[in-house]
């Protein structure tokens, strides 16, 4: 008899509540020290995340489908085969409004130019983060369209 696939639970939580909760064979995300992958029975850890794409491979029963989630920083806590990502904001690829993301990118680029011209460091930093978030949302959306 074949051994059943060992899956962990992946939850993504924002101030708006739980936005994602599924079983997974592997989850890949970008931590502040580089890309990390977590599988069933991984050693417990807690680490900060950067703006990036979280990829959740769902397992053989779902044809190893990969879900993409745009995460704007936060933390991942892994213990007892539960990966909990706590983020200020996160959005599943299928829920990203591409036209809104592109408009946000244009606004951020404009604010970046204005902040640079006026030598306003704090405005420049805010616009830079806004640009990274918008580009991340666009990239996550497009990663699911290339299949």
| Under 8 Å between Cβ of 137 and 56 | no
Residue 1 reports pLDDT greater than 60: no
- Residues 91-106 as b/e (b if ≥16 CB within 10 A, e otherwise) read bbbeebeeeebeebbe
pLDDT digits (tens, 9 = 90+) for 25-81: 999 999 999 999 999 999 999 999 999 999 999 988 778 889 999 999 999 999 999
pLDDT at 59: 81
Residue 104 reports pLDDT greater than 50: yes
pLDDT at 144: 81
Residue 145 reports pLDDT greater than 90: no
Report d(CA 111, CA 127) in Å as an integer.
6
Per-residue tokens: 93: 């690829």
Average confidence (pLDDT) over 114-143: 94
pLDDT at 93: 95
- Over the chain, what is the mean pLDDT? 92
pLDDT at 146: 61
Count Cα neighbours of 98 within 13 Å in the Cβ-side half-sphere: 10
């Amino acid at each position: 008899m074949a051994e059943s696939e060992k899956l962990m639970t992946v939850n993504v939580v924002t101030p708006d509540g739980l936005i994602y909760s599924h079983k997974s064979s592997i989850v890949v995300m970008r931590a502040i020290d580089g890309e990390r992958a977590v599988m069933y029975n991984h050693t417990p850890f807690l680490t900060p995340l950067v703006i990036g794409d979280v990829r959740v491979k769902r397992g053989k029963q779902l044809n190893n489908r990969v879900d993409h989630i745009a995460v704007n920083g936060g933390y991942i806590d892994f213990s007892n085969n539960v990966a909990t990502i706590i983020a200020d904001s996160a959005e599943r690829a299928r829920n990203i409004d591409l036209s809104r993301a592109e408009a946000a990118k244009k606004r951020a680029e404009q604010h970046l130019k204005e902040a640079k011209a006026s030598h306003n460091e704090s405005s420049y930093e805010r616009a830079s983060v806004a640009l990274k978030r918008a580009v991340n949302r666009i990239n996550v959306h497009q990663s699911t369209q290339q299949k």
